[in-house]
Amino acid sequence: MARVVFDGVTKRFGEVTALREFSLEIADGEFMVLVGPSGSGKTTALRLLAGLEALTSGEIRVGDRVVDRLAPRDRDIAMVFQDYALYPQMTVFQNLAFALKMRKMPRDEIDRRVRHAAEMLHIEELLGRKPRELSGGQRQRVALGRALVREPQAFLMDEPLSNLDAKLRVQTRTEIKHLQEQVETTTVYVTHDQVEAMTMGDRVAVMNEGVLEQVGDARSVYERPANVFVAGFIGSPAMSFATVHAERTGDSLVLTRGELSLAREVAGLDGIPAEVILGIRPEHTRLWTDGERLLGPIAGRAEYVEMLGRETLIGVLTAGDQRFTVHAEADATVKPGEQVRFGLEPGKLYVFDVESQKALGTV
C-alpha cells in the first residue's frame, strides 16, 4: 500500500492535450474516484499511472518512488480493465496465477494466494473454468481476483462495472467497496457514472477536458460545487441553470430575468457581477403552494413529466426561455403542455460567475 501522487502531469497526443497540469494526492489506503465525461482525461490519468502511456511532463510517485519512467511491471500496481482482459486460453486459476508466475513466486505461495483471493470473491468453484464459460459477473470477479492476488501498492480500475447489467452493477459496487476496505489497498477508480463515484469513493476527483475541476468527498462536491461544470455533472437529475440579472440593494439581492424575479436578503456576495448564472437542484424546487416559504412563484409550461414511482419530475420552460427540472410528489397530476407554477427553496440557490464559471456562493 502506498500514497499515489500526480504532480503537474501533462499528457499530449500530438496537438491534443488529454491531461493538463494534473495534480492530485491520493492517500495511503484511500479509494479515489476519477469521474468525468468522455474525453475528460480520467482514463489517460489512470493509464499514465499504470505506465501504459508515457507522460509529456510532470511526475508520478507511488510511495516514495518516482515511477513515471518505470515499465508497468516494475510499478507494483494491478489494473482491472473495462473489458476484464482475461487471458482466453487460460483457466481462472491460471489467469490469477499468471502475474505471480511472472514474478517467479514459489508454487505453494501462488497456490495459497490464488485460493485466498478465490475465497474472498466466492469463485473457488470456477478455478478450473475458462473465461468463455463464465458469465459477465463471474468474469468481473476473476478480473478483480487477478488484481487482488498481486497484493500490489495500488489497484487501478478502469470502469470495471460498465459491462454489467444495472442490478449486478449496484451489487458489485458494494462488493468492490467492501473488498477495498478489507484489504486497505490504495485504489484509483475511473468512471463516467457519477452515482458510482458518489457511492464508492472516499473522495471524488471531478475532471473535464483534461483539467481537474474539483476534488473532495461526495458530500462537499455535491453541496459545494466549485463551478458550473461540477454543479451540472454531479447530481442526478442534473442541476437547472438560468442566466439572470443580479442587483444588490442593501441587504437584499434581486435576481431577475423577464418575468422571473427573485428577491432575498443575503449576507456576503459583495461585488456580485450584474450577470450571474443561477443554479438550483431539482430537489430544491417544488410546485407552488400558497403559504409555503419558497422563492417565487415562477410560471412556465410543462415540457415533459417523468413519473419515477417515488417522485415525479417535471421539465418546465419559463417565459424567459429558461429550463428547470421541478420536483413533485409521486401523485402530481400535471400533464405535458399545462401551465405550472413552482418555487425555489431559499438558501439552496447557487450563484456562479458568467465569465469564470466559478461558484460565488449560495442564496
Partner 1 sequence: MTASSRVQLFLNYLLIVLCSLIAIYPLIGVVLASLYPTGPGVAPSGFALPPTFQWENYATAWRDGEFAASFTTSLIVAVVMVPASVLLSVLGGYAFATMRFRGSKAIFYLFILGLIIPTEATIVPLFYDVRALGLIDTYWALIILETSGEMAFGIFWMRAAFLSAPPSLLEAARIDGARSWTTLWRIMVPFARPAILTLTVLTFADSWNEFFLALVFTINHMTAPAGLASFSGRFTTDVALVSAGAVIVAIPILIVFVVFQREFMRGMLTGAVKG
Q: Which residues contact partner 1 (rule: CB under 8 A)?
A: 50-52, 71-73, 77-79, 81-89, 98-99, 102-103, 146
Peptide bond into 88 cis (omega under 30): no
Residues 220 and 202: their CA atoms lie apart, in Å, by 11
Find, among 237, 231, 212, the residue nearest to 58 by Cα.
212
Q: HSE (CB half, 13 Å, CA atoms) of 20?
A: 12
Cβ contact 234:310 at 8 Å? no
Local structure of residue 239 (DSSP, 8 states)? P
Least distance CB 42 / partner 1 (angstroms) = 16
Q: 10 Å Cβ neighbour count for 271? A: 6
The x, y and z cell numbers of residue 91, run together, are: 483457466
Measured from the CB atom, is 85 or 269 closer to partner 1?
85
Measured from the CB atom, is 152 or 235 closer to partner 1?
152
Give the type of residue at 4: V
Measured from the CB atom, is 101 or 219 closer to partner 1?
101
Least distance CB 119 / partner 1 (angstroms) = 21
- For residue 135, give every residue at least 6 positions away whose Cβ sits within 8 Å of its Cβ, in sequence order, or none: none
Backbone angles phi, psi at 3, to 5 degrees: -80, 140
Q: Is 318 helix (H, G, I), strand (E, B) or coil?
A: strand
Give the pairing type, strands 57-62 and 4-13: antiparallel
Least distance CB 82 / partner 1 (angstroms) = 7
Least distance CB 102 / partner 1 (angstroms) = 4
Measured from the CB atom, is 146 or 281 closer to partner 1?
146
The x, y and z cell numbers of residue 320, run together, are: 424567459
Measured from the CB atom, is 86 or 298 closer to partner 1?
86
Find, among 250, 323, 242, 334, the residue nearest to 287 by Cα.
334
Measured from the CB atom, is 73 or 335 closer to partner 1?
73
Peptide bond into 72 cis (omega under 30): no
Q: 10 Å Cβ neighbour count for 163? A: 15
Measured from the CB atom, is 13 or 304 closer to partner 1?
13
